[in-house]
């Protein structure tokens, strides 16, 4: 049987895991508490909350990106084909980009609304891209989870490096 290359010793730092799982929680919260229609933003406390939430989200997203880039490396085994490494990088970077885009567009909606541009082509267009970016992130997250499960079934150590449950036995 073909021997599967492993990277069992590789673990992300506690802070890296905190960022990863903290963001899963924060993003889930953002989705559950989403704005259902633009009129809701007439409620000034909701508008302020949305803006604060998106700003904090964006700040920590940028912090996380630089922390991960400077201090952590992928847990894919060295022998992983180049195409797979590239695909993983592409999905990870796209997730960062898409999340940042969702926040920035959300902040733009908030700003336009606050300035009194509550309807019209511009704000409708921004909302359209905001919503489309959300559809894209759902797809990216789905691909990411399928890839994580694929590694779990291969038992190559990638799952264990980030996920604290259903651990592979060494």
The nearest distance, CB 124 to ligand HEM, in angstroms, is 9
Q: How many CB atoms lie within 10 A of CB 4?
A: 11
- The residue number whose beta carbon is nearest to ligand HEM equals 106
C-alpha pair distances (Å), 126 with each of 29, 49, 54, 122? 22, 19, 15, 6
Do the Cβ atoms of 22 and 57 come closer than 8 Å?
no
Examine residue 109 and tell whether it contacts ligand HEM (CB under 6 A): yes
Examine residue 50 and tell whether it contacts ligand HEM (CB under 6 A): yes
Q: How far apart are CA 96 and CA 98, in angstroms?
A: 6
Within 135-154, which residues bind ligand HEM (CB under 6 A)? Answer: 141, 144-145, 148
Examine residue 77 and tell whether it contacts ligand HEM (CB under 6 A): no
Answer for which of 63, 131, 139, 150 binds ligand HEM (CB under 6 A) is 131
Q: How many CB atoms lie within 10 A of CB 27?
A: 17
**Angle subtended by helix axes 14-32 and 44-71, to nearest 10:** 150
Q: How far apart are CA 31 and CA 43, in angstroms?
A: 19
The nearest distance, CB 4 to ligand HEM, in angstroms, is 16
Chain residues binding ligand HEM by CB under 6 A are: 20, 23-24, 27, 30-31, 34-35, 37-38, 41, 47, 50-51, 54, 57, 68, 74-76, 88, 92, 95-96, 102-103, 106-107, 109-110, 127, 130-131, 134, 141, 144-145, 148, 158-159, 161-163
């Amino acid at each position: 049987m073909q021997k599967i290359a492993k990277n069992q010793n590789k673990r992300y730092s506690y802070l890296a895991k905190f960022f990863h799982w903290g963001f899963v929680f924060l993003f889930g919260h953002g989705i559950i508490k989403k704005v259902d229609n633009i009129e809701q933003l007439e409620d000034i406390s909701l508008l302020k909350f949305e803006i604060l939430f998106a700003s904090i989200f964006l700040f920590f997203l940028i912090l996380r990106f630089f922390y991960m880039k400077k201090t952590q490396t992928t847990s894919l085994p060295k022998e992983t084909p180049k195409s797979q490494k590239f695909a993983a990088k592409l999905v990870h970077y796209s997730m960062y980009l898409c999340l940042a885009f969702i926040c920035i567009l959300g902040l733009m909606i908030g700003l336009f609304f606050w300035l009194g541009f509550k309807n019209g082509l511009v704000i409708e267009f921004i909302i359209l891209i905001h919503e489309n970016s959300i559809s894209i992130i759902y797809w990216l997250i789905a691909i990411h989870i399928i890839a994580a499960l694929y590694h779990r079934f291969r038992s190559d150590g990638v799952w264990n490096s980030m996920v604290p449950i259903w651990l592979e036995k060494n």
